[in-house]
Amino acid sequence: MRSWHLVTSEYPPDAGGVAGYSSVIAHALAAAGQCVHVHTRGPVGTNSDGPVTVHRVGTTFGRAGLRELAARLDSSPRPRRLFVQYTPHGYGFKAMNLPFAHWLRRRAATSGDAVDVMFHEVAYPWVRSPLRHNLIAAVNRVMVRTLLPAASRVFVTVPAWGPMLRACGFSATTPVLVVPVPSTVSRICDPVAVGRLRQTFAAGGPVVGHFGTYGDHVGRLLESLAVALCRGLPTLRVVLIGRGNHPWRREFAPRHPEIAPQVVCADATTPEEISRTLQACDLLVQPYPDGVSGRRTSLMAGLANGVALVTNSGALTEPAWLTSGLAVVPTSDLAQAASEILRNPARRTTLAVAGRVYYDAHFAVGHTIDALLGAS
Sorted by where each starts, the structural domains of the chain and their CATH numbers stand as: 3-179 (3.40.50.2000), 191-362 (3.40.50.2000)
264-274 mean pLDDT: 95
Tell me the per-residue pLDDT of 27-41, one tens digit each, with 9 for 90 and over. 999 999 999 999 999
Strand partners, 46: 55
pTM score: 0.92
Q: What Cα–Cα distance (Å) separates residue 150 from each residue in 109, 113, 116, 321, 338?
A: 7, 10, 8, 33, 46
Give the pLDDT confidence of 139-181 residue by residue, as tens digits: 999 999 999 999 999 999 999 999 999 999 998 888 999 999 9
**Could you tell me what percent of the chain has a pLDDT over 90?**
95
CA distance 102 to 122: 16
Residue 98, CA distances (Å) to 73, 88, 141 in order: 20, 10, 10
For the stretch 240-257, what's the b/e string if a residue is b when 16 or more beta carbons lie within 10 angstroms of its beta carbon?
A: bbbebbeebbeebeeeee
Q: What is the largest CA-CA distance in the chain?
A: 65
Query: What whole-number percentage of the chain has pLDDT above 70?
Result: 99
pLDDT band at 376 (very low <50, low <70, confident <90, very high): low
Q: Which of 93, 99, 37, 96 is nearest to 67 (CA)?
A: 99
Mean pLDDT, residues 53-74 = 96
CB 228 within 8 A of CB 259: no
pLDDT digits (tens, 9 = 90+) for 310-344: 999 999 999 999 999 999 999 999 999 999 999 99
Average pLDDT over residues 54-77: 96
Nearest to 25 by CA among 370, 274, 375, 376: 370
Q: What is the pLDDT of residues 220-233, one digit of tens each?
A: 999 999 999 999 99
The band of 203, judged by pLDDT with boundaries at 50, 70 and 90, is confident
pLDDT band for position 274 (cuts 50, 70, 90): very high
Is the predicted pLDDT of residue 290 greater than 90, yes or no? yes
Run of H or E residues at 74: helix 63-74
Structure confidence at residue 374 (pLDDT): 86
pLDDT band with cut points at 50, 70 and 90 for residue 375: low
